[in-house]
């Protein structure tokens, strides 16, 4: 039987972007406010789960043609790469660096290499969560 959930699908299309923007905000605010890579990644995968609920696995695979297992390895590469990069400058493993930059549109901003490590955490969390959910959802 074909069901018609036009209300849910329309709401999901709007709410998806709200959750994604909130996740990005929480990810970037993590240095000064509560939040960070873990919560941001979980929220992003929550948004993708909303799409999975409103549509189906095949459609979402067409919308986001991402192999989430690659996201895990990419995130681990970011995390270990940030840690190993400090060795090149003759400082201990995992030493982070930061400086203030004059960015257009943002003004004086402090850019920190801990954010790259956080990006690794973000990608790993999305990858692991979506791999688990897709694997469970696919099996009959």
Partner 1 sequence: MIDLVLKLTLVLLAIAMLGLVYRLVKGPTTPDRVVALDAMGVNLVSIAAVLSMILKTSNFLDIILLIGIMAFLGTVAFAKFLEKGEIIEYDRDQ
By beta-carbon proximity to partner 1, the closer residue of 2 and 108 is: 2
Task: Determine, following the binding rule CB under 8 A, whether residue 124 of this chain makes contact with partner 1.
Answer: no
Rounded to whole angstroms, how far apart are CA atoms 113 and 62? Answer: 34
> Considering the complex, what minimum distance in angstroms separates the CB of residue 133 from partner 1?
7
Cβ partners under 8 Å of residue 64, min gap 6: 48, 51
Options 91-99, 105-113, 119-127, 130-138: segment touching partner 1 (CB under 8 A): 130-138
> Considering the complex, what minimum distance in angstroms separates the CB of residue 34 from partner 1?
5
SS3 99: strand
Contact criterion met (CB below 8 Å) for 48 and 130: yes
Task: Determine, following the binding rule CB under 8 A, whether residue 19 of this chain makes contact with partner 1.
Answer: yes
Contact criterion met (CB below 8 Å) for 118 and 30: yes
Task: Determine, following the binding rule CB under 8 A, whether residue 17 of this chain makes contact with partner 1.
Answer: no
Work out which of 22, 28, 38, 94 binds partner 1, going by CB under 8 A.
Answer: 22
């Amino acid at each position: 039987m074909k069901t018609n959930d036009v209300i849910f699908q329309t709401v999901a299309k709007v709410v998806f972007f709200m959750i994604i923007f909130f996740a990005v905000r929480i990810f970037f605010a993590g240095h000064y406010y509560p939040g960070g890579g873990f919560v941001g990644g979980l929220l992003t995968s929550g948004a993708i789960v909303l799409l999975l609920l409103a549509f189906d696995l095949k459609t979402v695979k067409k919308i986001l043609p991402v192999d989430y297992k690659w996201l895990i390895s990419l995130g681990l590469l970011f995390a270990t790469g940030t840690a190993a990069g400090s060795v090149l400058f003759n400082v201990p493993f995992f030493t982070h660096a930061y400086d203030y930059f004059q960015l257009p549109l943002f003004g004086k901003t402090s850019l920190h290499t801990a954010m790259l490590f956080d990006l690794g955490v973000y990608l790993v969390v999305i990858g692991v969560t979506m791999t688990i959910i897709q694997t469970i959802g696919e099996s009959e």
